Amino acid sequence: GGGTDNRTNATGHLTVNFNPDTNYLAGQQLWRGGTRGDAAYFDTNISLALNLTIYLDLNTTLVSPSIGTEYLKGENVTFIVHVNDDQPVNVENATVNINLTAENSDRVQCTPVTQDGGGDYRCTINSSTIAARYHNLTLISNRTFYNTNVTSLDNAIFVKTKPNLTNESVTSQQGGDTGGWGERGNFTINVTDEDLDNVSLQLRIKKASDADSAWTGSYGNPVNISTYTTNPDLRSPINKTITLTY
């Protein structure tokens, strides 16, 4: 920089308030002080250069995805983060951490974070490794001679899920999985929807010898339906056992 002028006080001491501008880079600087422009004294500097360290502030911004973007569980989520300083100048070779916190407080760190150039950093995580529903994002960036920056973003992404149906079984009035003509059967299944959607369940019947296309044909029309509007167990179901009869 071009230096800073000030005047000594009554005891001959000099105090300089220094707020570095864009002419100064982060890191260690050398400085000298002395007298200048006084008709009674020769211009002179102190003989040794002294050290001064300048620290800049970092700014961390989420470039992609936009806040609230939804991903189906199993899809990749790619985060792009931009880091610059308060000049502002793009900051390369920073250490960037990208942390996700789920609604159940589970925390996952996205790794590895790689540089794209121009102050951009990238990380990809598969959503199958994280919990369903909303995740808050915490971005942490640091580099030598810079003040660490922590940026928090609420509800940054939403991981949605399809209903998961397991442990299906059928029981006839005789007590087994075989029944006679006109006999009523109980069809039981376990229902979970991790992102807490409301669910409707349909029972469809076809002959074993019919092609799969029959599920939507005359045999494939629902013979029984259970819906969240009448069955509270299908409202945001987690490990709920549902039975439909036919």
pLDDT of residue 220: 64
Q: How many residues does the chain have?
A: 246
DSSP-derived 3-state class of residue 191:
strand
- Cα 77 to Cα 64, 113, 124, 143, 228: the distances in Å are 10, 13, 6, 26, 31
Return the number of other C-beta atoms located less than 10 Å from residue 211's C-beta.
9
pLDDT of residue 97: 98
pLDDT of residue 2: 62
pTM of the entire predicted model: 0.82
pLDDT of residue 180: 67
User: Is the model's pLDDT at 218 over the cut of 70?
Assistant: no
157 vs 219, more confident: 157
Q: From edge to edge, which strands make up the β-sheet containing 240-245?
A: 164-172, 185-192, 240-245
pLDDT of residue 8: 80
pLDDT of residue 58: 97
User: Is the model's pLDDT at 219 over the cut of 60?
Assistant: no
Question: Can you tell me the mean pLDDT for 123-145?
Answer: 97
* Location of structure tokens 């709920």: 240
Classify residue 4 by its DSSP letter.
Answer: -
Main-chain dihedrals φ then ψ at residue 24, nearest 5 degrees: -115, 135
CA distance 31 to 7: 17
Q: 137 with 98: CB under 8 angstroms?
A: yes
> Please, what is the average pLDDT of the chain?
90
pLDDT of residue 242: 96
User: Is the model's pLDDT at 182 over the cut of 80?
Assistant: no
